Amino acid sequence: IASALTEKSLKCLNVLVTAGPTREFFDPVRFISNPSSGKMGYALARVASLKGAEVCLVSGPTHIEAPPGVSLIPVVSALEMHSAVVERAPRCDVVIMAAAVGDYRPDVQSESKIKKGDKEITIRVVPNPDILAELGRQKREGQVLVGFAAETDDIVENARLKLLKKNLDMIVANDVRDPRSGFAVDTNRVKLIFGSGDVVDLPPMSKDEVALKIFDYVEELVKRREG
Ligand code: CTP
Ligand code: CA
């Protein structure tokens, strides 16, 4: 993709990207998580950096190396991601939440390993803060806020509801049941949905290509804001 990016069109912009899953531990060796690989978020961070932006990547645990020039902030849990993002977002021009943030965490985290037994045990979970919704409430003039929506049914309708509820400028919707999109694969088939109501239905392509497309539209949104 480097060859497609001769123009430093995001120069002077601060971009924050989140990626990967979160881990919600309930004892020192066990956690609740999801299959996110981080590929989509890392591709976005790489494209933004190649386009000349100052990029900060807040990432849950992945097996991917940080792209060159990107400042990586590793986190583990949703609460850690929440603090890292909320602290940095106010000084960013563009924030893209590609992370698969755990919606719930165990209400207690045992300091010792829970020993197995014959009886069933119950893990009680409590809701995590919605990081993106909070960013939407705090969004400042000119800031561009992009979310992802992982859906299995009524993709566009559900994604549009998230866009409105979280005060986003764009949401990237994917059908996580489609084997060419969603979790831990190299390709993605997404629909881009905008505050204006426009929907762009992209064909299946690599996550690098999706990242390029997303930034084509993000640049437009930034320009429109700058007036
Ligand atoms: N998100 C977030 N904080 C959370 C949960 C989600 O910032 N605690 C962000 C994700 O990074 C994504 C967007 O919100 O950009 C939508 O995530 P998704 O899981 O599709 O939707 P939810 O709002 O969590 O609703 P649900 O999982 O019930 O569909
Ligand atoms: Ca969720």
| Residue 79 annotated in ligand binding | no
Confidence class of residue 4 from pLDDT cuts 50, 70 and 90? low
| Mean pLDDT of all residues in 59-83 | 98
Q: Which of 14, 34, 128, 174 is catalytic?
A: 34
The answer to whether the predicted template modeling score (pTM) of the entire model surpasses 0.80 is: yes
Q: 48 in ligand 1 pocket by Cβ < 6 Å?
A: no
The pLDDT-based confidence of 24 (bands split at 50, 70, 90) is: very high
Ligand nearest to the CA of 129: 1
Per-residue pLDDT, 3:
63
The preferred substitution site among 77, 79, 132, 169 for testing ligand 1, maximizing ligand atoms within 8 Å of CB, is 132
Q: Where are the beta strands (DSSP E) in the chain?
A: 14-19, 24-27, 30-32, 54-59, 71-74, 94-97, 104-106, 125-127, 144-151, 170-175, 187-188, 190-194, 199-201, 205-206
Q: Tell whether the model's pLDDT for residue 144 goes beyond 80.
A: yes
Reply yes or no on whether the pLDDT at 25 is more than 70.
yes
Q: Measured from the CB, is residue 21 less than 6 Å from ligand 1?
A: no
State which ligand 1 atom lies nearest to the alpha carbon of 100: 11
